[in-house]
Amino acid sequence: MKKYNVFLFSILIMMLYSCLAILLFISCKSAEKNSSVVEKSTEVKATLIRQPYLQIVRSNTVTITWKTDVNAKNCHVRFSRARDRKGRIVQGTLVQHEGNSFNEVVINNLEPNTKYQYQIYTNGHPLTQGVGYYFITATNTKNAAFSFYALGDIGAKQNQSFAKASANTIHNLTEKPDFGLGLGDIVYPKGESKNYDMHLFEPFQEVFKNTPFYPVAGNHDWLTAPDLNFEKEWSLPGNEHYYSFAYANAFFIGLDSRDGTFYEIEKQTTWLKNELQKAKGKYDWIIVYLHHNGKTCTYKKDYEHVIALYEIFAKNDVDLVLNGHAHTFERLKPYDANGTVDASRKNQNTYTSADLRDKFISITLGAGGKLNKKWKPNPENDSNCNDGTIVAHFEHVPSFGLFKIANKTLTFQGINSLTGTTFDTFTIQKE
């Protein structure tokens, strides 16, 4: 009886091993098949029209998009951590737009704060190669230091825009920013999809391939239907017009001010209030960005719908409001809900939490690609300027802003796009 049991047990073990071997064989075969489908394609090679750019980079996900001609039949990304030799492959989707194909791959299940090299493939053919093609997932540590750049009014015809200079200076920064904010009027003259490549993606390709960019629409982007242009070019959170995201201990809110009258104004204002309510007490920094200015001493008028939001900003712990629109640089003194400043205060370079209690700092960064050459700033004697004492610093040069946040300290630099020099700086130190 005992011998019989041993015999049965041996048969059982043998059967189990055989099943395992068959399963292993099948899974190897199917993995091989998958990889041959995507990387040994016999399809014709598609032409790369736009270099890859990063969107929605979070601690565990990234979206990589590139544009090819319509020969694209399938696409994928191969990526790996810098030290790993083994890569992962994720298949993407294709969307046709204006006679070309957007190739888009969403990668999930990533490690936070980790650098990955990537390579894009269309029809199984690699279209890029090089150390510049990488992404770094967002940190999920609240007190991690990070930085971002911001600029508006960027992409015009190449002989009418210094977008390339702004992009080069950003690309050559010693500390690479974690992401960028686009403050509207992203592409001139009318935000048309057909101009995105020449006016924006070509000059910014070295930046966008490894640093995500989060734009909001400006009045020029609204001169053609955003749902057929702006929304096709970007993958942004929410409805892509107004959206928010968190990074370390900071909360970012992008608004769509359209032509100054705001897109879905009532819905958007309610949404803004809700976002600020949800963020209250959870973050050390709250940063709002949009295209139009409120009070200003540039050549643009004061936009009443932006001024109408001052009370919401001031009473809900907003620290900074960044905008474009005027093609110049202007930093204002901390405002209260009425847009009133402490004009007697001399020091406008260092602020504490007490200095910003129920106040915020508004900055125009609208010289990202254009400068108004017909106008000279003069806050003391400008017909557009109701009160020159609101201005902390102005500088009429091609420029962008660089913001560094390290826990409770925020440092700002206004940087000249042509020379790379810092022309304005301030620090906010919170307790």
Site residues for Fe ion per CB under 5 A? 185, 218-219, 325
For residue 220, the minimal CB distance to Fe ion (Å) is: 6
For residue 149, the minimal CB distance to Fe ion (Å) is: 19
Q: By the 8 A CB rule, do 86 and 2 touch?
A: no
With vertex at residue 186, the alpha carbon angle to CA 253 and CA 236, rounded to the nearest 5 degrees, is 45
- Using the minimum distance from each CB to Fe ion, give the nearer residue, 46 or 326: 326
Q: By the 8 A CB rule, do 222 and 187 touch?
A: no
Strands 285-289 and 250-254: parallel
CA distance 189 to 345: 41
Residue 286 has a CB neighbour count (10 Å cut-off) of 23
- Using the minimum distance from each CB to Fe ion, give the nearer residue, 124 or 401: 401
For residue 118, the minimal CB distance to Fe ion (Å) is: 34
- Using the minimum distance from each CB to Fe ion, give the nearer residue, 185 or 233: 185
- Using the minimum distance from each CB to Fe ion, give the nearer residue, 67 or 325: 325
Strands 100-107 and 62-68: antiparallel
For residue 218, the minimal CB distance to Fe ion (Å) is: 5
- Determine the residue with CB nearest Fe ion: 325
- Using the minimum distance from each CB to Fe ion, give the nearer residue, 57 or 181: 181
What sign has the CA pseudo-torsion 108, 95, 117, 119?
A: positive
For residue 364, the minimal CB distance to Fe ion (Å) is: 11
For residue 300, the minimal CB distance to Fe ion (Å) is: 8
- Using the minimum distance from each CB to Fe ion, give the nearer residue, 182 or 212: 182
At 34, give phi and psi (nearest 5°).
-55, -50
250-260 b/e (C-beta count within 10 Å ≥ 16 → b): bbbbbbbbbeb
Q: Which ranges constitute the DSSP H helices of 160-309?
A: 163-171, 193-196, 202-208, 230-233, 265-279, 304-307
